[in-house]
Amino acid sequence: MQKMLQIYQNFLRHTAGTVLVAFALMAPVIVSSVGMALDYAQAYLVQQRLSQALDAAALAGATSGTTESEIQAKVNQFFAVNYPADKLGVTFDPEVTLQGDQVHVTGHAQYTTFFLNVIGITEIDITAENEITRSFGSNIELALVLDISGSMASNNKINDLKAAAISLIDTVVYDNQSEFYSKVAIVPYSVAVNVGSTYADQVRGPLTAAKTISGATKANPVVVTSSGHGFSNGDKVYIRNVSGMTQLNNKIYTVANKTNNTFQLSGVDGRNYSTYQSGGALYCTNPGCQYQYFQSPSGNWNTFQASTCVTERTGAYAYTDDPPSTAYVGRNYPASGNPCLSNKIVPLTNNKVTLESNINALTASGSTGGQVGVGWGWYMLSPEFGYLWPEESVPADYGAEKLHKIVVLMTDGEYNSPYCNGVISKDATSGSGSTADHINCNATNGNAYTQAEEMCDAMKADGKDIEIYTIGFRVDDYPRGEELMEYCATDAAHFYTADDGEELRDVFDAIANNVSSVYLSH
């Protein structure tokens, strides 16, 4: 063994120089090979990004007009806005050729090498091309139902959603609508759906008006004068905006010893209060009033003001699209910590500026009353709700010739906020806000998932002719959310998931492609 070891050591001493010389000779080849692999790998990635960008631009351009120049202008605009050179890694100028219903889009770029330039290869040519088959032949009414609950604020999800939704709008809404029209409605949802002050009274019913105070005595108990107030003994009233005797403001009181025009504030000694000067408003505090006074499951009492958000409809019409004139939808009395979302519904329109500005304004906040969003996706396409909207936003009748009605429903997680009397219910699940802000009764219609499934079933019933596309965005940790999206979709081909912003955009583009009957042929 010792002799063999000595032989091996002698071999290394005699061959070390030879190995170094050989390595020195091979080093440029090795470096060139590695550099070539790295540069070509990077060029391949750029080519893939370029191909995907070209697909999206071609789809947008193919729906933008009828002439080659119109399509070329749209493709150029789309690239400039969505895929500038710093994003792609190259400068790319697409070229459009129109032949009948076939739109050919090609382009070339040069990727500047990093390693290969040392051996004289400074650029790698990149080519991308595709062909679009256009088959316009129907009108489109599409409702985008978008989850903008608080969880969408994390990991840039809300911005990913905006980019994907705008891409869909660019494709679905035709620039030339002379023969067929395409319109999109937007339904943002979180804790509920905000219909805005324009429509709130019509869809959830007007709120009981306040009664005017004309006097209040410094007595024990305080006596309030309000002509024809209509309150009964034992009613709870909320007082605001009294001048002078300001100690009365922003509190709940019990009515006692009422007459037609006066009543006492039970147990309230006002002898040390300031002197009443003027004004003041009395509000009832039951469901349907501007304020609701209720007890939480933990026993505390809350006074919440009604908002322009709306919640689920109850009773016999809960899962129908009968008009609000037949049965109002639910009111919303939100907590200050889980308020009505600021983003409002947008009725059907083909105005891209309006649609895209509303998408760009989306802000993530609040819990998830997704069952309300599902309902409003249907309502925006329902001719039964048409009397609410401006003339250009009225949906066509079900079954109209050459018409597609489509709901695109998206969520990033759990539906957790069902309601009782317009307040998040006692049996709401995790993520629905503080239980101290919930009402001490269970959800009238049951849990949010059951409600959403019922609404989807009703929407897909015979005679409605509504297609439902669904998207679960990063829902791996929310199996019930994913299962609901799969359940609500028209079929398996209408159900999608996406794990990041790029996949979400691909999903929205695929849906836009299907909806618009525009197909990539390459």
Task: Provide the pLDDT for residue 407.
Answer: 98
Report the alpha-carbon distance of residue 83 to residue 74 in Å, rounded: 13
What whole-number distance in Å separates Cα of residue 480 and Cα of residue 192?
Answer: 19
**pLDDT of the residue at 8:** 45
Strand order, beta sheet including 466-473: 346-349, 182-189, 139-147, 403-411, 466-473, 495-498
In degrees and rounded to multiples of 5, residue 134 shows phi and psi of -100, 140
Identify the helix (H) or strand (E) that includes residue 504.
helix 501-516
Tokens of 482: 């994913």
- Cα–Cα distance for residue pair 92/75, rounded to 1 Å: 11
Backbone dihedral region for residue 202 (phi beyond 0: left; psi -120 to 50: alpha; all else: beta): alpha
| The CA-based dihedral angle spanning residues 510, 512, 516, 519, taken in that order and rounded to the nearest 10 degrees | -20
pLDDT given for residue 4 in this prediction:
47
C-beta neighbour count of 437 within 10 angstroms = 21
CA 372 to chain centre: 12
What is residue 24's predicted lDDT score, i.e. its pLDDT?
A: 47
User: pLDDT per position in the chain (522 positions), as tens?
Assistant: 455 445 445 544 555 455 444 444 454 555 556 666 776 777 777 777 777 777 777 777 766 666 777 777 877 777 776 667 676 667 777 888 877 667 888 877 777 877 777 777 878 777 778 777 766 678 999 999 999 999 999 999 999 999 999 999 998 998 888 888 999 999 999 999 999 999 999 999 999 999 999 999 999 999 999 999 999 999 999 999 999 999 999 999 999 999 999 999 999 999 999 999 999 999 999 999 999 999 999 999 999 999 999 999 999 999 999 999 999 999 999 999 999 999 999 999 999 999 999 999 999 999 999 999 999 999 999 999 999 999 999 999 999 998 999 999 999 989 999 999 999 999 999 999 999 999 999 999 999 999 999 999 999 987 778 999 999 999 988 889 999 999 999 999 999 999 999 999 999 999 998 888 765 665
407, 467 in Cβ contact below 8 A? yes
pLDDT at 120: 76
Q: Where are the alpha helices (DSSP H) in 115-240?
A: 157-172, 196-204
3-class secondary-structure state, position 232: coil
Contact 204, 330 (CB under 8 A): yes
Looking at residue 520, its pLDDT comes to 61
Nearest to 189, CA basis, from 159, 229, 150, 216:
150
Q: What is the 3-state secondary structure (H, E, C) of 434-503?
A: CHHHCCCCCCCCCCHHHHHHHHHHHHCCCCCCEEEEEEEECCCCCHHHHHHHHHHCCCHHHEEEECCHHH
What pLDDT sits at residue 132? 73
What is the rounded CA–CA span in Å between residue 312 and residue 307?
A: 14
CA distance 61 to 57: 6
At 125 the pLDDT is 79
pTM, to two decimals = 0.80
Hey, what are 339's tokens? 């308020």
Q: What is the pLDDT of residue 11?
A: 45
What's the first-to-final CA gap in the chain, in angstroms? Answer: 68
CA distance 395 to 387: 9
Whether residue 293 contacts residue 333, with contact meaning beta carbons closer than 8 Å, is answered with no
Cis peptide preceding 323, ω within 30 of 0 = no
CA distances to 117, 124, 496 from 39, in Å = 10, 9, 34
The type of residue at 88 is L
